[in-house]
Homo-oligomer: A and B are copies of this chain.
Amino acid sequence: MSRTYPASLPCLCANLRRASRALTQRYDQALRPLDITITQFTILQALSLTGVVSQGRLAEILAMDSTTLTRTLAIMSKHGWILSEPGPDRRERRLSLSPAGRRKFQAVLPHWQRTQAQLRARLGPDRWGDLMNAINHVALAVTD
């Protein structure tokens, strides 16, 4: 065990949560000057990939409770980044990026990219790829 950091705890969840906190702090720090969090940027990115999508489906994609999304979308809507229209099924909200949301996404993109690139360089492309595979496999294994 190093002075400042133990190699591992016995719990996979604890270790994953620790890595998640560390990474989140790093990304949030990089995005702070742009007044957006990695949580919010992730939603911009997801919407930019999916196009129009219901809140429930977006929650599924992010393995996030749909009611959590309600709160975060409220914050993002205050910034004018989100379009939310009732669908043909009028219980559901059909979400998409507003023009301001697209602009915001484009503005933040290079900062996000720089942060990813730094981390990728530090880990090496092999470890990076393995990591991406592994964590997505976990998410899958847990979800279904």
Contacts and interface: CB of A to CB of B under 8 A. Distances in A.
A127 B124 CA distance: 19
Q: How many copies does the complex hold?
A: 2
Interface in A58-72: 60-64
> Main SS of the interface on chain A?
helix
A131 to B, nearest CB: 5
B112 A141 contact: no
A42 B11 contact: yes
A27 B10 CA distance: 14
A23 B18 contact: no
Given A131-B135, A137-B127, A42 B17 contact: yes
A134 interface: yes
